[in-house]
């Protein structure tokens, strides 16, 4: 939904938007939306029991959990799925506290240097120490997490590392990490293994359990429903029950207790109920399970191949654009990628490129550091020197703070070859007419790029109030 939305551009033309910001959030899957719309006719709380609507809600909400477990290849005998927060962040914070509390003698967490802040800061906050695992290098371009370095860290800190938290797919470069192999190494050293699945769940197939090699099993995985085609759905945690059952759940309240007395209470001993205090986001969970079911019907392997082919085409074409730098190892045969490409055009700020793409080409991208500052910094420092003239070494840090960032184009199952072609055509034009575009913009006090003459008040495009007025008139 939203693929056909039209906006009027700086050129005066009105065109369809081309959505390249799926790593931030995916657009809504119409079929999942339609399932939820029909469900609303029966909607009731899962904590009510005996009326028809309550029974339907309770059963379908339970089905949503089961469906997600089977989608991720997580054996329901050993794993549970529960919903929390509005994305991945809440679940990672929750698991960091669980892992800390069930193994208090192990005070260190390890994360890779490519992590989103949501899979770095929770560990810094809840654990005593966090160590960062370096990446493989391919002639100076970073690739996936270096498994030899991971093993070296685990060996050196043996007995101290509680868990390793790693993203399945980078939200900056789309580089895929070998998570099952990483899990095996962690388990050899008695470290738990947590996967940030925010950029993985909608793009690549996954087996959380590997029957032929249980050392490769993933202990816990978290992902965001809003990045899996259902904005408005909750965050998802899939974790081994044996880990969660060792302590009282982090959140307490209605729905997760069997009995409450004035001086004590008794928590349910079954999952997922004990992990979900309060009324859950029932329509969100149902929409998400519907989307997941549809993804499975299409086939995750097929979707992965389609998206990888599109990314390979985009990379190949973008490599030919003068002055365009692609971050991370750009050869998909050397380093497997999916769904995301980040880049800069020499001599142009990322913010300017993103503004031009929007205002002149109706291409929606994200820019800046994508909540992955250490990773972006590692990649950008070298070519920052090329991007600004007459730089003094001592000024590099302050210039980095002013200029830091990239442009990110990210795809999803609705992205087409025509979309990729439109992006490439736009980037070629921007790269070949830098001065023309620069002269069309100025920056405001927040260093944001404002077009000199083209401005559209967003309420001309959409506003809640206008929408309500239309609906009630």
Ligand X SMILES: Cc1ncc(COP(=O)(O)O)c(C=O)c1O
Q: Which residues bind ligand X (CB under 6 A)?
A: 87-89, 116, 118-119, 167, 171, 196, 198-199, 224
Angle subtended at Cα 98 by Cα 173 and Cα 59, rounded to the nearest 5 degrees: 85
CB of 226 vs ligand X, minimal distance in Å = 6
Residue 193: DSSP 8-state: E
Closer residue to ligand X in complex, CB, 205/347:
205
Nearest to 214 by CA among 173, 252, 183: 183
Q: Tokens standing for 398?
A: 């302050």
164 forms beta bridges with: 110, 193
Q: Tokens standing for 78?
A: 């050993």
CB of 158 vs ligand X, minimal distance in Å = 28
Closer residue to ligand X in complex, CB, 224/415:
224
User: Residue of minimal CB distance from ligand X?
Assistant: 87
Closer residue to ligand X in complex, CB, 60/122:
122
Closer residue to ligand X in complex, CB, 199/217:
199
CB of 242 vs ligand X, minimal distance in Å = 25
CB of 296 vs ligand X, minimal distance in Å = 21
- Is residue 320 helix, strand or coil? coil
Alpha carbon of residue 138 to chain centroid: 25
CB of 253 vs ligand X, minimal distance in Å = 22
CB of 291 vs ligand X, minimal distance in Å = 15
State how far the Cα of 21 lies from the Cα of 16, in Å rounded to an integer. Answer: 15
Q: Tokens standing for 353?
A: 């490129």
- Is residue 130 helix, strand or coil? strand
Question: Is-contact 167 119, C-beta < 8 A?
Answer: yes
Alpha carbon of residue 206 to chain centroid: 15
Closer residue to ligand X in complex, CB, 166/355:
166
Radius of gyration of the chain (CA): 24
Q: Tokens standing for 156?
A: 């050196």
Q: What are the φ/ψ torsions at residue 192 (nearest 5 degrees)?
A: -75, 160
Closer residue to ligand X in complex, CB, 118/336:
118
State how far the Cα of 316 lies from the Cα of 341, in Å rounded to an integer. Answer: 12
What is the rounded end-to-end Cα distance, in angstroms, of the chain?
25
Closer residue to ligand X in complex, CB, 118/216:
118
Closer residue to ligand X in complex, CB, 106/350:
350
CB of 237 vs ligand X, minimal distance in Å = 12
CB of 122 vs ligand X, minimal distance in Å = 10
């Amino acid at each position: 939904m939203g693929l056909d939305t039209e906006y009027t551009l700086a050129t005066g033309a009105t065109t369809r938007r081309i959505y390249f910001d799926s790593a931030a959030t995916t657009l809504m899957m119409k079929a999942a939306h339609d399932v939820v719309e029909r469900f609303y006719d029966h909607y009731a709380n899962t904590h009510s029991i005996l009326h028809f609507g309550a029974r339907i809600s309770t059963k379908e909400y339970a089905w949503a959990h089961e469906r997600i477990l089977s989608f991720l290849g997580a054996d329901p005998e050993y794993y549970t799925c529960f919903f929390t927060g509005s994305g991945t962040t809440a679940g990672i914070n929750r698991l960091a506290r669980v892992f800390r509390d069930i193994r208090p003698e192990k005070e260190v967490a390890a994360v890779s240097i490519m992590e989103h802040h949501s899979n770095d800061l929770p560990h810094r906050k809840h654990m005593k120490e966090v160590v960062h695992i370096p990446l493989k290098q391919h002639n100076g371009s970073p690739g996936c997490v270096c498994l030899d370095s991971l093993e070296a860290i685990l060996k050196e800190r043996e007995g101290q590392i509680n868990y390793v938290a790693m993203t399945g797919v980078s939200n900056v470069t789309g580089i895929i990490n070998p998570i099952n192999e990483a899990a095996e190494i962690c388990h050899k050293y008695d470290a738990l293994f947590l996967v940030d699945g925010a950029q993985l769940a909608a793009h690549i197939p996954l087996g959380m359990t590997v029957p032929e090699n249980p050392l490769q099993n993933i202990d816990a995985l978290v992902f965001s429903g809003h990045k899996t085609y259902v904005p408005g759905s909750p965050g998802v945690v899939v974790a081994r029950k044996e880990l969660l059952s060792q302590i009282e759940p982090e959140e307490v309240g209605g729905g997760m207790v069997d009995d409450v007395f004035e001086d004590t209470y008794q928590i349910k001993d079954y999952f997922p109920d004990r992990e979900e205090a309060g009324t859950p986001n029932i329509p969100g969970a149902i929409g998400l399970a519907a989307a997941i079911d549809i993804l499975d019907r299409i086939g995750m392997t097929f979707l992965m191949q389609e998206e990888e082919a599109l990314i390979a085409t985009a990379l190949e074409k973008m490599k030919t654009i003068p002055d365009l730098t692609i971050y991370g190892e750009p050869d998909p045969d050397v380093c497997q990628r999916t769904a995301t490409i980040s880049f800069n055009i020499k001599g142009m700020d990322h913010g300017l490129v993103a503004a031009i793409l929007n205002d002149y080409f109706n291409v929606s991208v994200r820019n800046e550091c994508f909540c992955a500052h250490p990773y972006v910094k590692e990649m950008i420092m070298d070519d920052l020197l090329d991007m600004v003239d007459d730089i003094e070494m001592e000024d590099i840090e302050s210039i980095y703070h002013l200029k830091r960032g990239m442009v990110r184009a990210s795809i999803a199952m609705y992205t087409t070859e025509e979309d990729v072609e439109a992006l490439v055509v736009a980037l070629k034009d921007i790269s070949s007419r830098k001065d023309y575009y620069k002269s069309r913009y100025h920056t405001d006090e927040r260093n944001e790029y404002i077009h000199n003459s083209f401005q559209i008040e967003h309420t001309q495009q959409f506003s809640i109030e206008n929408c309500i007025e239309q609906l009630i008139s």
